[in-house]
Structure 1
Amino acid sequence: MSGFRAWSLIALPPDERQYGGNTGYNDDVERIYRYDSSVPNHKQLAQGDLIFVRDAARVIGMALIEKISVFPANKVRQRCPVCGQVSIKFRKSKSIPWRCTSGHEFDVPLAESIAVTGYEARYEQGFLRTPDAVPVEVLKQAALRPNDQLSIEEVDLGRIEDALLRKCPQTRSLIERFLQGIALDPLDADVWAERALPFIATMTDTREKVLRSIRVRRGQKSFRDKLIRRYGARCVASGCDLMDIIEAAHIDPFRGENDHHPENGLLLRADLHTLFDLNLMGIDPEELTLRFHPRIRDESYRRLEGRSLRFSGLALPASAPIKRRWDAYLLTLRRASCE
């Protein structure tokens, strides 16, 4: 699998940090998450990733990362003046307030300025407050590699999706946008080509099923028949009329019977269907023209670049799912430009 990931990000005020060696970051939790190159997983966060921003007691909210800025910076690191270690703790109730894990007590830590690479993950346009949606303990249990010391920790969205949607239904559109940005590495396709996984109702597992089950499929018969009646018996992208290799493609990923609506479908040649599912082929919603990811260099595909979709009548697909899939295609392009 390639594409975007989900993360738990801890934003704590300085007096709530477990250790005082790190003086903390000036986070604006509903807009910006700040961190630096001394933080584990600092290179892993990426534009398009889903984040859960939390403090020690609650999950404050969710968002998709819109942009990550990188810049040179300096940070203050505090050490024990006796042994030099950074594992020090401030104790409000003690006459000698500071203590390191080796047992040394002192009034003032030794401060030093060190050069680091600074990062700002911005998400101000789409932040969604979710203070009661998921308990912090449940989010921690969803960690892929649990570690209480990590402030940036990858989580398995599938473990918490059901509870999240039940408690906070407004998160559905955010999760859908995140899942539409996930793509299967084409090199993985052969491994999963003949493996048909059972349908699972959650959006996360359903999207996983779509990505890992790219195989020769014509689609559900009644859905395919409706598309043939609506658009004619040929691929709307290439014009191919060999129906043995023409498939019924969902525009919005299939999650249930409602997605079998003919306005949410296209007839595509099998290879083009695969590229569409991988977000390597996009459809410009303004002109209904084809666009291909720069990785697609084969001349037979490049000849289709900019070609308008072909429909036999006046019926067209619904504009909303086309726009959502176009946004997912653009996300794939932006992610590629950052690699």
Structure 2
Amino acid sequence: MAAWLMLAKDGSKRIGEGYDDSPATHYSWDDTVPNHATVRVGDVIALWDATELLGLSVIESVTLGQATKKTPYCLKCGKADVAERKKKLPRFVCWNSDCKHESGQAGWKDKDVVTYRSRHEAGWIPARGTLMAPELRALCVKPKSQNSLRELRWRDFQQALAHGSVPVPLRIIDTAHQTIQGGHGTATIRVRKGQPAFRKQLLATFGETCAFTGPAPVQALEAAHLYSYAANGKHHKGGGLLLRRDLHRLFDLGLIAVDPRTNTLLLHDDLKPFPDYAKLQGVPLAVSVTDDHLKWLTRHWIMHYPNAAQATVHPQGGPAQPTIVN
């Protein structure tokens, strides 16, 4: 699996690029960036801000376009390796090792570029601060690289995340990669926020009620899509529930699931030392769900608890085997 460390901090990118990155959903670059055409759908994208890791995901799509942008160049050597300083003067410095010219001004010219824009929200895992800049640089194929797009040693990066001070569960990454590459298999359950109409619909259906714990302030409730990357962002019938924000995140990581044999909550062992969460083990859902809800909840359960999923599922009063719908 290929993996890329991508800089997502406006102030750290070369001047004139003007990208509109949103780490949890999309990332933009163009053909002036080294490795610009090497990134592929299905690759892991890890975003950092030059200080710490922000999160990671799997690239779902890459959209190509065209644009004209103003690019700076060195007034002495004419090359485009110019950086803008934040504090130190002169304001501009040439990165060309044979030049290193410093000046209060830079030259500017229009350049036609091919643009790239990734989408990666389906597999997004926030991971701010789990790895810091020195660790991230050391995990690159070329640790001394200054490029905005740097190839990571995926296996080493994976180990660093799994065994750090705050371990990051990577099952979602693995499953999303398999789903994107092959289009089949048990799908990744993801959270999609901000859909006002979808949230309004859920509030009308369930009221101000967290599906796991019961009545809650509306400000604490998030609309959670229960379906997978394969759903491609469409609102499927029975594809959402309202969840309290913290439970939403834990569900998304598979630390809380719904056992479709009993419609009760199933907690990962990692949560059991915490009394406020441990008491949720075995608690019935706080809302009535349909067969469509159970279909999506079953997918989530099978992905995160495959051993339990070998048992007979009891979705609606009678025995049945779990059905995976691709």
Q: With structure 1 as the length reference, what TM-score do the two structures score? A: 0.49
Matches within 5 A, 1:105-124: 105-124=102-121
- Identity, % of aligned pairs? 25
Pairs within 5 Å for 1:94-133: 94=88, 96-100=90-94, 101=96, 102-133=99-130
Change (3 A) 1:5 1:182: farther
CA contact (8 A) 1:138 1:160 kept: no
Contact 2:90 2:103 in 1 (8 A): yes
Rg bigger for which structure? 1
Alignment of 1:160-239 (within 5 A): 160-166=157-163, 167-169=165-167, 171-178=169-176, 180-181=178-179
**Counterparts of 1:161 and 1:82 in 2: how far apart (Å)?**
44
Partner SS state of residue 162, structure 1: helix
Distance 1:130 1:107, change over 3 A: same
Shift of 1:158: 1.8
Opposite residue 117 of structure 1, the aligned amino acid is V
Q: Which amino acid aligns with 2:32?
A: S
What residue in structure 2 maps to residue 28 of structure 1?
22
User: What does residue 35 of structure 2 align with?
Assistant: 41
RMSD: 3.5
Please report how far the alpha carbon of residue 171 of structure 1 lies from its aligned counterpart in structure 2 after TM superposition.
2.9
TM-score normalised to structure 2 length: 0.51
Q: In structure 2, give the amino acid aligned to 1:175.
A: I
Q: Secondary structure at the match of 2:110?
A: strand
What per-residue deviation string (whole Å, max 9, x for no partner) do you get for residues 188-231 of structure 1? xxxxxxxxxxxxxxxxxxxxxxxxxxxxxxxxxxxxxxxxxxxx
The Cα of 1:7 is off from its aligned counterpart by 1.6
Counterpart CA distance in 1 for 2:181 and 2:118 is 22
What's 1:51 paired with? 45
Deviations for 1:113-137, whole angstroms, at most 9, x for unmatched residues?
1011101101234422101222333
* Structure with more helix by fraction: 1
Query: 3-state SS of the aligned residue for 2:118?
Result: strand
For 1:134, the equivalent position in structure 2 comes to 131
Q: Which residue in 2 is equivalent to 1:263?
A: 310
How far apart are residue 156 of structure 1 and its match? 2.6
- Alpha carbons of structure 1 residues 68 and 183: separation in structure 2 relative to 1, 3 Å: closer
SS of structure 2 residue aligned to 1:60:
strand
- Equivalent of residue 79 in structure 1, options 73, 76, 84: 73
How many pairs are equivalent? 198
2:321 and 2:158 map into 1 onto residues whose CA distance is 29
| Partner Cα distance (2:128, 2:177) in 1 | 22
Runs (4+) off by over 6 Å: 258-262
2:69·2:112 contact (CA, 8 Å) conserved in 1? yes
Flag structure 1 segments of 5+ consecutive residues without an equivalent: 185-257, 265-313, 327-339
Cα distance, 1:25–1:147 mapped onto 2, change above 3 Å: farther
Q: Aligned to 1:159, which of 119, 137, 156? A: 156
Inter-CA distance 108–176: structure 2 relative to 1 (3 Å threshold)? same
SS in 2 for 1:160: helix
Distance 1:117 1:142, change over 3 A: same
CA distance in 1, matches of 2:321, 2:4: 35
